[in-house]
Structures are given as structure tokens and as C-alpha cells.
Amino acid sequence: MRFDITKCHGSGNDFPLIDARALSLDDAAWAAVARALADRAGPVGGDGLLLLTAGDDDHAFGMRMFNSDGSESETCLNGLRCTARSGFAALGVESARVRLKTSGAFVVRDPDLAPGVFTVRETAGPASRDVAAWPMTIGRAENIDAPIEGLPSDRAFTAVAMPNPHLVTFVDRIDEAELVRVGTVCESAPDWLPNRANVSFVEVRGRDLFVRTFERGVGLTDSCGSAMGASTYAACLTGRIAFDVPTTVFNKGGRIRAEASADGMVTLSGNATVEWIGSVDVDLAAGAASDLTIAARYPDEIAAWAAVRDAAV
């Protein structure tokens, strides 16, 4: 089956994106497409697959996101900005209510984060502290700045759903090996955490944050939008930064503007960069992609974001 795709990224979190509004594949087929297109050894590669889906009475359009392992995520806030850009172009609008898997979000075209950087502001939430909903069985209803038995770390974690589950800990200096150890335990879906969780180590830098994430279904990634949102809310919740005050969140992929409110709503403003557009064949039975044709590249957008990324690290 041949697909038209847009290769895009939000804060370095990169994806092939498909306009699926007129397509009718089942979940198993989309999972196979995701594994084929996100395969880093294949012709496209990415952290997952984004789908622009049809709207309904309450939403202009929808988004689905499949991780590189074929699992479907509740949301992906870096991917949402890219999907919003595609939806804006398809419908000729600059703001929209978007349907996600288990929730919704509001998106609007924002002033450019930097010259030449297409920027989208997204508001999502409310964040939830109810770990029973994940589920995470730890003998209490929430976990705020406290260790979690079962993790290979005695650090204090804050558990937040955005609505996908996140464990956030604040560190003086990020130890990637330790992050991978903790993330790998969560990725293994232990009995007390059957749906897994994203894990973020966060450095507080004055009023700013630097976030490094082991993403569920992906692994160690340069950027995870919902993790940046969860980390911002967790930092406010634990008194490390203030609610309702803009902050800058950095990661290895770049940076975003962020703000969290006490009611759990989180606003992120960041890039939605298009690198190229093209088409590719996917053999659903074999789970493999081939015959990539690139119709157009966007080097000016790539260069504009590279300047932001290089200044952020």
C-alpha cells in the first residue's frame, strides 16, 4: 500500500505523518505501518507515526499517534503540533479543537518561537495525579515527590498523567544510565505497572527546566512533548517553579515555552517543522517500507530549527 507522508518534527521528536481522514485501516494495520515507517533502519525512520484523522461535532480534526513499537499512545504533544499544522493547512484555519485518543486539546498558530520556525501553541489537560487510573498499584492514590518501591532508584518521583502516564524526578545532574535503568523497568510492564510509563529526569535551571526522557514504546528520546508538560506541572506542584508563570523547557531536541496552572491545564508553545514530503510503499504483511520518493525538501525550515537546537544544548 502506498502512502503520502510528511516527515516532520516537534522539538526534535520526529515522525512520518499521514493524512488518514479518507483511509480506513484497522488498528493492527496502522500498527504495522507505524513499525515499518518508524524503523530507523528503514527508508523513513522516526519516533512513531502520526495520523491526521477526521473531526466530529466537537473537534475540527483528530490525531492518533502510534509508537515505533506499534503501540498507540494516549497523546503526543510534540506530535500534536505537527498534526495541528497539517490540519490547519487542510482546513484553512489557524486554531482548532483536536480529538485525541482519550481526551482533547486546543491548538492555535502562535508567533514564531524564532525566525523561520513555524510555531503552534497547544493547551492540554487537566493533568491527573490519580495513579489508580494508569493503573499503578503502589498502595496509595497519588505519588508526589516520593520514592516508588519497585524502581531501581531511591529518588523521589512525582506521578502525573497527561493523559499518558509519566514519572518525573528532579536531579542536580542527569545520569542517562540511571534513567535508562529506571525506564527499562517501567517498559517491562511489571505487575504493578502493566501499562508502562514514561520516565523523565529533570534539572531545574533557575526558572527553566531541562528534561531528558525514556519514552514508553520508544526508549531514550531527544524530546517528548507530554513529558515536558508533565515535568512543568510536576515542578509547579512540588514548588520548584511557580504556577501560571511562563518557563522555558529545554531538551536535547531544542526548547519550548511552557506554563502550568493549578487546575492541571498545561500550555506548550513550540515548533512544528516540516523536513520533506513524499510517498512510500508499505508491505503490511511483512511490516516493511520501501520505494521512498521525496517530492520536496524544506532546507530553510531545517536550518531555522537547527539554530534553535544548537543554542539550547
76 is catalytic: yes
> Among residues 57, 110, 58, which one has the least CA distance to residue 84?
110
Confidence class for position 221, pLDDT limits 50, 70, 90: confident
Average the pLDDT over 303-312 and give the result.
Answer: 86
Average the pLDDT over 89-106 and give the result.
Answer: 94
Judged against a pLDDT cut of 90, whether residue 118 lies above it is answered with: yes
Q: Full-prediction pTM beyond 0.85?
A: yes
Alpha carbon distance 77, 161 (integer Å):
13
82 is catalytic: no
Average the pLDDT over 59-80 and give the result.
Answer: 93
Distances (CA, A) of 168 to 81, 211, 231, 238: 23, 9, 6, 11
> Among residues 103, 188, 176, 203, which one has the least CA distance to residue 150?
188
For 12-57, how does the pLDDT look when each residue is reduced to its tens digit (9 = 90+)?
889 999 999 999 999 999 999 999 999 999 999 999 999 999 999 9
Pinpoint the residues of the chain covered by CATH 3.10.310.10.
2-123+271-312, 131-268
Say how many CA atoms lie within 13 Å of 70 toward its Cβ: 13
pLDDT of residue 312: 66
Average pLDDT, the chain: 95
pLDDT of residue 76: 87
pLDDT of residue 253: 81
Confidence class for position 313, pLDDT limits 50, 70, 90: low
Average the pLDDT over 75-104 and give the result.
Answer: 94
Average the pLDDT over 291-313 and give the result.
Answer: 91
> Among residues 217, 188, 212, which one has the least CA distance to residue 199?
212
CATH topology for 2-123+271-312 is Diaminopimelate Epimerase; Chain A, domain 1 (3.10.310)
Judged against a pLDDT cut of 80, whether residue 311 lies above it is answered with: no
How does strand 247-251 pair with strand 2-10?
Answer: unpaired
Judged against a pLDDT cut of 90, whether residue 269 lies above it is answered with: yes
For 273-300, how does the pLDDT look when each residue is reduced to its tens digit (9 = 90+)?
999 999 999 999 998 999 999 999 999 9
Alpha carbon distance 174, 159 (integer Å):
18
Q: Please say whether the beta carbons of 30 and 38 come within 8 A.
A: no
Torsion over CA of 16, 21, 26 and 27, rounded to 10 degrees? 50
Selecting among 8, 82, 186, 224, the annotated active-site residue is 224
Average the pLDDT over 130-151 and give the result.
Answer: 95
Selecting among 76, 82, 186, 236, the annotated active-site residue is 76
Judged against a pLDDT cut of 70, whether residue 217 lies above it is answered with: yes
Q: Please say whether the beta carbons of 77 and 83 come within 8 A.
A: no
Q: Does domain 131-268 have CATH number 3.40.640.10?
A: no
Q: Please say whether the beta carbons of 229 and 237 come within 8 A.
A: no
Residue 135 phi, psi dihedral angles, 5° rounding? -90, 155
Rounded percentage of the chain residues whose pLDDT exceeds 90:
86
Count the helix, strand and coil residues of the chain and give each as a percent rounded to the nearest 5. 20, 40, 40
pLDDT of residue 17: 98
Say how many CA atoms lie within 13 Å of 75 toward its Cβ: 31
Residue 75 or residue 304, greater confidence: 304
Average the pLDDT over 227-231 and give the result.
Answer: 95
